[in-house]
Amino acid sequence: AQSVTQLDSQVPVFEEAPVELRCNYSSSVSVYLFWYVQYPNQGLQLLLKYLSGSTLVKGINGFEAEFNKSQTSFHLRKPSVHISDTAEYFCAVSGDYGGSQGNLIFGKGTKLSVKP
């Protein structure tokens, strides 16, 4: 069975500092990987996704993530954060089922708090 572990439940950081949000997954099949962001009292918005090809994926708002198959990781990074990046971030994985089910397995989320 697939699972996703987000190692940090909360990450405080100062504005303009770099940040890395960690995500590890377990799966016995080829995977697709996603990072979503959720601002308070809103739905989830896709930041970026890895399907295949280059292991470095660039997303919206200056975020990027690197797929590391040997370490089964998909860590999210941003070189310089802004106050507006304060939100909860979710890592998710889906398997190569080849079907229409479309289920994602989500991590428990990491709350990023950017302080001035």
Residues lying near other proteins in the complex (CB under 8 A): 32, 34, 36, 41-46, 49, 51, 90, 94, 96-104, 106-109
Residue 32 beta carbon to other proteins: minimum distance, rounded to whole angstroms: 5
Nearer to other proteins, 19 or 92 (CB): 92
Residue 103 beta carbon to other proteins: minimum distance, rounded to whole angstroms: 6
DSSP 36: E
Nearest to 107 by CA among 54, 55, 44, 62: 44
Q: Are 110 and 52 in contact (CB under 8 A)?
A: no
The angle formed by the CA atoms of residues 5, 23 and 16, to the nearest 5 degrees, is 135
Nearer to other proteins, 80 or 103 (CB): 103
Residue 87 beta carbon to other proteins: minimum distance, rounded to whole angstroms: 14
Distance CA 88, CA 111 (A): 4
Nearer to other proteins, 36 or 63 (CB): 36
